[in-house]
Structure 1
Amino acid sequence: MTPLLEVTDLVVRYGEHTAVDRVSFRVEEGETLALTGESGCGKSSTANAVLALRRPERGSSVRFAGQELTTLRGRELRALRPRFQPVFQDPYASLSPRTPIGATITEPLRVHGRPVAGRAAELMELVGLDPAYAGRLPHELSGGQCQRAGIARALALGPRLLVLDEPVSALDPSVRAGIVNLLADLQDRLGLGYLFICHDLTLVRHFAHRVAVMSAGRIVETAPTHELFDAPRDPYTRQFLTGGRSDRRREGR
């Protein structure tokens, strides 16, 4: 069966610096793969390449439902973008401060020429956000409510894959569980695949089906979550899981 997302030999460079070094992984439909590691290990650069926001080096492969993304340009890439969408770390920064929440949520529909009528309320209800808030601006909502709006916006075009880049790390601890439970419920209901960028090991263990551990731009170990936490094979993984630091770490983007 063709994976929802298949990344092979991904290389991302910034000038002379190699941020991602021959990374390979897959995400199946309905699965959460957590990509974790120390700050600067290359997690976000990997996510940007998957989202086609950063072009990887020649020889890299990013395939969505069997279709190669790295060779697509212009209209072809635009046609495929609705099927994979991001959810960002800072819920306020990802929303326009001067645009009402309802209009922000339905903006992708307008951009892609799809019907908008009634969709704001439907999407807000889907993520547990009162449709009465559609006319409010982001600063009038809590961080958790804004993140729900960001998730609703990501779902507007009916994607199959969400790239979740630290989606709860900027939220108060009291509201994190609600967002995580929402994401789990949406995955069950919609069959979504998640690439989950996260440094919080407690959350990774609770939420992910499989885990890929990155160090210095490379994936050092990938395993089902319970196997990785119960019996990690790589020395770096063992050190990382116990809160140690490794001399393999280097700065990245």
Structure 2
Amino acid sequence: MARTARRPRRVVPGVPVSPLLDIRELVVRHGPRTAVDHVSFTIDPGETLGLIGPSGCGKSSTAMAVLQLRRPDAGEVWFDGQELTALDERRLRPLRPALQPVFQDPYGSLSPRHKISDAIAEPLRVQGSWDRTTGPARVAELLERVGLDPAHGDRRPHELSGGQCQRAGIARALACEPKLLVLDEPVSALDPSLRAGILNLLAELQERLGLGYLFICHDMALVRHFCDRVAEMREGRLVRTTAVTSPSPPR
């Protein structure tokens, strides 16, 4: 694997930090089965928390509840000082842009019928912030920010590589100017040669924009290499949370 750099989180000594995301006793049930069983964790601004565990342990169900794409059956989701679980959809809608997902399948997360530029512009249109005059330049800027040529905006997903599609998905998330990205296995569908580039991009964006990351993964070595803390799930429960004290050596 090519070298990736995990940048240490910027913390000012003696200055208290309020969590950007605060999950309290989260419960998610699928019929009679409890997928997430009283899970609690926090993520500070600019921090990366890795959520790891075997398939079926509740990682993705936790992510869906954090994003409020699936309302939890119990518990609280506090984001940027507001309890999302207490809000109806009308009051939740203005907060959604600050909390954005990046999914595992780079092709499946983009419509095959739409150009990449349209996919990136879509969140701006949904928010009512699209401007015909400045919008195309904003899309081009986002493409360049994630390491793509603005000319890629005229292509459709099948005309791009998996790594390029994932970069486009990240650009679409950034269009909303988020504070937290929920990264659900963002590199597991990519060839090993492409993973380091995406991880380096995420690290650079976090350094530049101060983003918080919930990084969902099944690879402990990767999580320890990329994250500030690691939360391990087993059978719906959070069994331990540990700090990563220093970056892994280059590989």
Q: Which amino acid aligns with 1:65?
A: D
Structure 2 length-normalised TM: 0.88
- 1:42 Cα deviation (Å)? 0.3
Is 1:217–2:236 an aligned residue pair?
Answer: yes
Is 1:16–2:32 an aligned residue pair?
Answer: yes
- 1:226 Cα deviation (Å)? 3.8
Task: Show structure 1 runs of 5+ residues with no match.
Answer: 230-253
Q: Distance in 2 between matches of 1:22 and 1:3?
A: 19
Name the CA shift for 1:117/1:133 in 2 (closer, same or farther; >3 Å): closer
| Aligned mate of 1:57, from 56, 73, 82 | 73
Correspondence for 2:146: 127
| Aligned mate of 2:129, from 89, 92, 114 | 114
Is 1:66–2:85 an aligned residue pair?
Answer: no
2:45 alignment partner, SS class? coil
1:86–1:163 contact (8 Å) kept in structure 2:
yes
Percent pairwise identity: 67
- 1:2 Cα deviation (Å)? 1.9
2:215 alignment partner, SS class? strand
2:201 alignment partner, SS class? helix
Q: Distance in 2 between matches of 1:108 and 1:189?
A: 21
Q: Which amino acid aligns with 1:48?
A: M
Correspondence for 1:244: none
Structure 1 length-normalised TM: 0.88
Segments of 4+ moved more than 3 angstroms: none
Correspondence for 1:249: none
Correspondence for 2:47: 31
Is 1:2–2:18 an aligned residue pair?
Answer: yes
Correspondence for 2:58: 42
Correspondence for 1:236: none
Correspondence for 1:160: 179
2:186 alignment partner, SS class? coil
CA offsets per residue over residues 148-177 of structure 1, 9 Å max, x none? 000000010100000000000000111000
1:205–1:226 contact (8 Å) kept in structure 2:
no
The count of aligned residue pairs is: 227
Correspondence for 1:199: 218
Q: Which amino acid aligns with 2:193?
A: S
1:118 alignment partner, SS class? helix
